[in-house]
A and B are shown apart, each in its own frame.
Chain A
Amino acid sequence: MAAVAAAAALATALVVVVTGPEAPEDETFVLVGRGGGEPGGGPLAFELKGKPVRGLYPGAVKQMRITVDNPLGYRLSVQRLSATVTSSSSRRGCPATPANLQVKEYTGRLPAIVAAGGRTDLGGAIPVAMPLGAPEKCAGVRFTIAISGVGYRVAR
């Protein structure tokens, strides 16, 4: 019976991952994922928080800092973080291409361990850069950066 419950929880989790809630554009909260049910019931989830990047201009590199929230009752190991510019921008004249905006690799050390019920400000950051040749039509444009992460529950 417990096994059936675990399997059901996994299926539910997968649905959540695929259809996860959309965050408002200016929210600083980024929900990374729900990975399944813990054996005792309840979701397995952790959260990332990242502040929106503002004030980009040609030649600017802004550092997007990430905070990991672990509401679970056991330690979490964040293994990977990555970010990409989504395919759309708020203005057609300034498409979301590498010529206009670039997101680099996370600069910090991973894995990062987050204590049970704890919160960790990661030491590194995700650089967001606007190339020097970005056209004038990009002034005032809003891009969306998709962040993804993978974490493991640390074995007891």
Chain B
Amino acid sequence: MRRAGRALLVGGVVTVLGAAGTVYAYAGGWTVDGRLGVTAKVAKMPRGAEPSVAAQSRRAVVSWSAQEIVPGVLMDHYTVTAHSVSDPPAPAVTHTVAADGGATESVTFTVAEVAGGTWRWSVTPRYLGWTGEQSRLSRRLTFPAAPATKEKGRETAPAAQVTVTPPRSPATTTAPAPSPAPERTSASPAAEPEPETPPAAPPVESATPPEEPAVPAPAG
């Protein structure tokens, strides 16, 4: 009797559950819930674009193609570093350049920064504090030693040139020197102290130095 009662109870429970499930299903009450993953990937910072360099009026004009972290989103800053390949090497000179939003960016290193040395340049892209990989080094440029004290005014070249190929201005000893800072430099220009006068500057009496003193050297 007890056995029959137990069977009846189990059967009843199963029947009730099944009937309830069926009614629920027909009433549209099934809910489905689950979760699986979709990936979200963060962009990588690109390697810097190898810059091109040109000597102009004893200064170095460095230019490079603007870069994006993702299509349509340009870098906001670039770190441009002049690496000395002289012997003995001079301290590296670094400028942080705020991007201007154009397709090409550029910065000028002053006479005081590059005189008397041979240099190669690199560019490192930055975006909101993220830093990409440093670019390959540019070709090298060699600059003669800076002129004597009476030409110091020229060493602090005018900050009017912002492009790679502006008209070449004639050499002069009376050029205005409004600022010793390079163009489009938005932060402290160098980790190393910027020399007031190049260390190896021999006295020069001539007031008319060569118009294009920088000598490109083969890359190496």
When C-beta atoms are compared, the residue in chain A nearest to B45 turns out to be A139
Query: B20 to nearest A CB, angstroms?
Result: 9
Q: Which of A22, A44, A64, A149 is B33 in contact with, Cβ under 8 Å?
A: A149
List chain A residues, Cβ under 8 A from B42. 56-57, 94, 130, 134, 138-143
Chain A residues with Cβ under 8 A from B44's Cβ?
139-140
Number of A residues with CB within 8 Å of any CB on chain B: 72
* Cα of A143 to Cα of B39 in the assembled complex, Å: 6
A101 CB-CB contact with B under 8 Å? yes
Contact of A148 among B22, B34, B41, B45 (CB under 8 A): B34
Q: Is the CB of B17 within 8 A of A7?
A: yes
> In the assembled complex, how far is the CB of residue A8 from the closest CB belonging to chain B, in whole angstroms?
9
- Docked-complex contact B18 and A4, CB < 8 angstroms: yes
A56 engages B43 (CB within 8 Å): yes
Cα A127 to Cα B187 with chains together (Å): 35
A91-B148 Cα distance, complex, nearest whole Å: 56
Instruction: Please state if A23 and B37 are interface contacts (CB–CB under 8 Å).
Output: yes
Decide if B28 touches A17 in the complex (CB within 8 Å): no
A145 and B40 contacting across the interface, CB-CB below 8 Å: yes
B32 and A35 within 8 A (CB): yes
Number of A-B contacts (CB under 8 A): 181
Chain B residue at minimal CB-CB distance from A137: B130
A53–B36 CB distance below 8 A: no
A132 to B19 Cα, complex, angstroms: 55
Given contact pairs A140-B44, A152-B31, A146 touches B36 in the complex (Cβ within 8 A): yes
Which of B18, B36, B45, B129 sits near A6, CB closer than 8 Å?
B18
Residue B38, interface by CB 8 Å: yes
Of the four ranges (under 10, 10 to 19, 20 to 34, 35 or more), the interface on chain B belongs to: 35 or more
Contacts of B19 in A (CB 8 A): 3
* CB pair A150 B43 closer than 8 Å: no
Other-chain contact of B73, A37, A57, A79, A150 (Cβ < 8 Å):
A57
Q: Would you list which residues of chain A between 78 and 123 have a CB under 8 Å from chain B?
A: 79, 85-86, 94, 101
Collect the chain A residues with CB atoms within 8 Å of residue B26's CB.
39, 155-156
A151-B32 in contact (CB<8A): yes
Decide: A58 and B130 in contact? CB cutoff 8 A. yes
Q: For residue B129, which residues in chain A have a CB less than 8 angstroms away from its CB?
A: 58, 136
Say whether A6 contacts B22, CB under 8 Å.
Answer: yes
B-contacting residues, A21-49, CB 8 Å: 21-23, 25-26, 28, 30-39, 44-46
The CA of A143 and the CA of B40, in the complex, are separated in Å by: 5
Chain A residues engaging chain B, CB cutoff 8 angstroms: 2-7, 9-10, 17, 20-23, 25-26, 28, 30-39, 44-46, 50-60, 62, 64, 77, 79, 85-86, 94, 101, 128, 130, 132, 134, 136, 138-156
Beyond the given A55-B70, A150-B33, could you list 19 further A-B residue pairs with CB under 8 A, ordered by the A residue number?
A3-B17, A3-B18, A4-B15, A6-B18, A7-B21, A10-B21, A30-B36, A35-B33, A52-B40, A52-B41, A58-B130, A101-B40, A128-B40, A136-B131, A139-B45, A139-B130, A146-B36, A150-B32, A155-B26
